[in-house]
Structure 1
Amino acid sequence: MLTRKIDETLLASYSDDIPSFLKKIYAARSVTESQLALGLPKLLTPNFEQLTIAHTLLTQALNEQKRILIVGDFDCDGATASVVAVKSLRLMGAKYADFLVPNRTKHGYGLSPEIVELAIKEKQPDLIITVDNGISSFDGVTLAKASGIDVIITDHHLPSKSVPKADAIINPNLNDCDFPSKNLAGVGVCFYLFSSLKTHLQKHDYFANNNIPLPDLRTVLDLVALGTVADVVKLDQNNRILIAEGLSASAPNYVHPVFWHY
């Protein structure tokens, strides 16, 4: 049986409201009390590279009621991110927010030229937003841009030395991105984009001017938690907050409306 050595100094540093058996577990794993702090106010600030550009594009798309298409992925992370994106956009007043999930056999992975052609044929988008993919979609982005479609990539996968020529890329793993945590799942990146967009729109009186109720994006946190756990990303403090808040938002026996059709 393996046992961990307890850090006595760390053990003595915990506040009295933490049960003694938990103190020993935390001290044996070198967990500080500050790392136990949860709650949305403790989330890292969304200082992603190119976030301002994405906000500008999305604000224009909402104001002009452009057709916005989410291109997702078939795994749990991509599926939950797709729902988070579409639901967030609709809560923010988008009338034309839809999604496509590529069939990898027919369309390949991510924003491929094949999925762009299908999108143009079936959805006629003005703006494409990728979730949980896109950072390697060079040809698809090129075709979309040549077809007059704006492209925002949201992804968490590692980029190569170069990146697609999208209008904006939101990815914590970009070389020039200062976001401290590199462990977000695709759905986490997506949530950060739309929660920060909500703040941006609120500052500019978008909701008040358009008689739109202030969106409560806590209603998608259960999906953020699900996608984060399912993608088996590292559970750093930021991801633990997202998961804890998502579990708190899920009442016992609650089924998210997105699953009612299945």
Structure 2
Amino acid sequence: FVDEANRYGIDVLITDHHLPGEEVPAAAAIVNPNQTGCGFASKNLAGVGVAFYLLSGVRRQLRADGWFDDRPIPRLSDYLDLVALGTIADVVPLDRNNRILVNEGIRRIRAGRARPGINALLHYAGADFRNVTARDLAFGVGPRLNAAGRLQDMSLGIECLLSGEDSADEFANALNDINSDRKEIENEMKEQAETALSSIPVTESLVGICLYHREWHQGVVGIVASRIKDKAHRPVIAFARTSETELKGSARSIRGFHIRDALDAIATRNPGLVSKFGG
């Protein structure tokens, strides 16, 4: 994508928070606190946190350039409800910086200044925005937003977050229904995974676990991998079929075992086996 854009003279700006690979895209700029040479102190930012600080930097530069001399200066604090939600939903470590972002975002939600879509999702999750907690965002709002991307189209979740008072409930209701479907699929897949796991002796010699079922949904394998990882305390990759010749897997690892490095080693030793990976 980046190479194609470059051929047309289009500058590409990439924001990311994952550990970069050996080769990075030839973009005009890459904003990632985890890339080599980046001096930004908070390395645990979620993608939404990276975007927030990028906007802060752009605003600072525009102010210095006089852009706002005859224009209103945007208040980035207006977006802290989204920053808090994204930080929690991405399950990044809550270091000092992330705790500040989450705390300020939750304060904004409790004060009734959140987006209508977030308040509507909290309602369907059975939570009161006036007493909202990080747990409500993690287990109430986040799964309902993610369900759209897992089973259908993530644009529905985006529309919900961008919606006004007149349409927020409609979007939140649709996301709630999709999340109910996701739970049913997840429970069935989890039972199948646990049945498969019961036939595997979990001993000290077991380095990792790979699971596959022909009928598994590729949007839910990550949840299954996470559940089995917690149960077996081993790195887990759960696969779903995307075509007759390709499987798509989602990996979850334990502390001390970097799954990306393991996948890199597998891909290097077995050319053509892994078409792409990341995260």
- TM interval, short-chain normalised: 0.3 to 0.5
The structure with the greater share of residues assigned to helix is 2
Q: TM-score, normalised by structure 2?
A: 0.42
